[in-house]
Structure 1
């Protein structure tokens, strides 16, 4: 009797498992089918008197953005779909579509993955971080401050935020495992690393080699290392301080009850190895050459390639490290960079922004700036990806604001918004890296609500007044 009941349970369990497996396939297909509803309506309705060709292109773009946002289709497959659409549609030249792979930014970004890995391999950043943590990380508030300080220091060694946050988070995790603190306090301290990376990335042009250069590329403007530091350095430093203070205030209750103890092994470390010294020298030379490009005129891509080759020659990088170059990201960037140009050359951007022009005031004013900010914020909340938002918003806004606002402050303003305004992890790639493993979506949302107000405050009280003072606005 007992055996019969067991068999019955096993059969029932098997049926349930089979039913679940069977149901999963239609559900995934159904989700993909739902993503076609709006694009099909666009083709049928042909809004704003678009031609069939234009409405079809717009439909494919919205379909791809939906796939990017929801992940119902893998990002690289979605990217290939849109790339194929651009090639078949035929309104844009190959040079326009492949503008990113043909640019120096492509080589700078690709080499930055390898340069970052070289620094990780050599143990330089690890040594710096541990030494500072062991000496100054005695309280939760000190550790939050160190998240921002370390992000700033390692900016000069690793021009790639993904590698920075993963490295610092690993060091923090090991350090915090020796402390008598709650899991909630540990979560907040780890989250501070990722928040710090977003704000400190704005201080220098190589702070986020992908997003910073992408913003300039979408705006078709050229800014050197020194010019970026003048335009963004001081206001971004003040913004970083505001974000650090607000972070401590928002999570103050989670940081009260903590007991920090001296980690095992004391506070001293070993002497730097030859590999560490060589890697540090290479990165110092690379950063200095990037910073002084205006004077010596050696292209930043050439500097990055030479620095990468030097690390290979010195044995800091090996062929196994080549896989650290994120091919999926480079494919995504190729498509994202092409979006604005394709929309312009196909006439879609002119139609859309021609209808939006009535929303904007006739003259430049605080209200004018507020509408720009809210437009970019709204697009970012819907599109999710910072890169995608910039690729869609920047080219169109430049056309809309022509004659009323210079491209440089417009591009920098849009960049600031997408970089420090995130309500959910998918709104920022760096934040998404740590979500789930180090902190929850609820934690991101809690601070994200405060960041919405911070973005408006720093835009109107810090960045815009500063740009007026230095004469770019």
Structure 2
């Protein structure tokens, strides 16, 4: 008999001293091992770097090891890396802090607040009742609804961080209302974010940051339809493969039943009948305003190319309206912006610019001798292997592409379509990850599942990624080019 999950209760308040300890968390043994490895690599200087480059490369290696082992808190490590980049990175500060100075930073921050307002207002509960409950009869159904939700929402919100944050709020509400066990909910939420990664590859506008950057790295221009021609079909098949893999790896997690829905009434409604589902109640005035503001914001995001108003400005106006007109946001909700994650994203997005400006990217690429493979059947596997290696070294999809694609494109010359070179690299770094920071979309959802889940699937994907690229994507590229 499946065990019932205990009722969800509010977590105890965290004392200020505990927050301080968590912020400066240190595992002495792991920290010393990371420091020793970073110092050894820096002193060995295998890339023949100058002193400043050595310091930057050593700091990056130390940060990657610390993030992987959690030797020091993620926030402290990120701040350390930003300081080292600022002092020794030979890069303008506006490039180092490009992410917090961008519209994307504001849009993501505001998306957290919008998500919290949706939950506070009861809209998330309504959506969980009316949308999820219509199609979900058993926990396994949440896997397929997660795929469908990502496919639908990528046409509405062209930024995976924002849309997965909003989708997660709805799924979390459904999970709470149906008392789904933690082990099952972690797999369901991981699937939501894993399929967000694979579906964002389908269309150019599914991720306006990464996909636009990838096209820029290819040195060519690609229309929306050309991208879809190359990527839509194999990416959709990959989405199904990834979900099937998660199901196979976590079969026991789905041997449970949905609990009876627990009512979670509207804000301020404490006398809710426990047998009455909130979606059967009429909309309150605040709920209507929340719905109009959020749908209006999504509509503006969808048509940004038409009206030219930045997504960040639209998001700020929406959040201001939610706070002033509905009362669904207060000072206590500022914590939902997840500041540690925003600091980490700042560090992660700075890596590519610093590696390029400091000349380390060029030095890294010169180590890999691939000239003799150009024009042979081994060149494509070498592209995959190089990208997997670089991605593990620098831990960022954007950074990996900025290091590998320009050099590979120049190396390939006329022997391979530059779009194919870029897309092989792009697919490889999107699918191959061991740790949350190696795939930022998964990092955004880390509060819903543990790093061990990502590590577990990453081990399998080490062997499966080359197979998917070689036997699925490349034959498709040859068919459509």
- Match status 1:288 vs 2:299: yes
1:113-124 aligned within 5 A: 113-124=112-123
Give the Cα–Cα distance (whole angstroms) in 1 for the partners of residues 341 and 134 of structure 2. 37
Residue 362 (structure 2) aligns with: 350
Residue 269 (structure 1) aligns with: 280
Residue 191 (structure 1) aligns with: 187
Give the Cα–Cα distance (whole angstroms) in 2 for the partners of residues 294 and 69 of structure 1. 39
- Match status 1:329 vs 2:341: yes
Give the Cα–Cα distance (whole angstroms) in 1 for the partners of residues 317 and 234 of structure 2. 33
1:359-370 aligned within 5 A: 361-363=373-375, 367-370=378-381
Residue 103 (structure 2) aligns with: 104
* Mean Cα deviation higher: 368-377 or 224-233: 224-233
Q: CA deviation at 1:138?
A: 2.8
- Match status 1:396 vs 2:403: yes
| Greater C-alpha Rg | 1
Q: CA deviation at 1:191?
A: 0.8
Alignment length (residue pairs): 428
In structure 2, the gaps of 5 or more residues are 1-25, 263-274
Give the Cα–Cα distance (whole angstroms) in 2 for the partners of residues 343 and 253 of structure 1. 44
> What is the root-mean-square deviation in Å for CA atoms of aligned residues?
4.1
Give the Cα–Cα distance (whole angstroms) in 2 for the partners of residues 129 and 162 of structure 1. 15
Contact 1:379–1:389, Cα closer than 8 Å, also in 2? no
Residue 199 (structure 2) aligns with: 203
1:127-276 aligned within 5 A: 127-150=126-149, 152=151, 159-162=162-165, 164-165=167-168, 167-176=170-179, 187-188=183-184, 190-204=186-200, 213=209, 216=212, 233-249=232-248, 251=250, 255=254, 265=275, 269-276=280-287
Q: CA deviation at 1:193?
A: 3.2
CA deviations over 1:238-282 (Å, ceiling 9, x no partner): 333333344445555765x66668768487732333333332332
Contact 2:164–2:196, Cα closer than 8 Å, also in 1? no
1:358-437 aligned within 5 A: 358=370, 361-363=373-375, 367-380=378-391, 388-403=395-410, 404=412, 416-422=427-433, 428-429=442-443, 432-435=446-449
CA deviations over 1:336-379 (Å, ceiling 9, x no partner): 2221221222222111111214378324x764333333334345
TM-score, normalized by length of structure 1?
0.74
Give the Cα–Cα distance (whole angstroms) in 2 for the partners of residues 124 and 226 of structure 1. 35
**Of residues 318, 323, 344 in structure 2, which corresponds to 1:307?**
318
* CA distance 1:333–1:146, shift in 2 (3 Å): closer
Residue 89 (structure 1) aligns with: 88
Give the Cα–Cα distance (whole angstroms) in 2 for the partners of residues 188 and 239 of structure 1. 22
Residue 76 (structure 1) aligns with: 75
Residue 10 (structure 2) aligns with: none
* Mean Cα deviation higher: 211-220 or 97-106: 211-220
Contact 2:432–2:465, Cα closer than 8 Å, also in 1? yes
In structure 1, the gaps of 5 or more residues are 1-26, 178-182
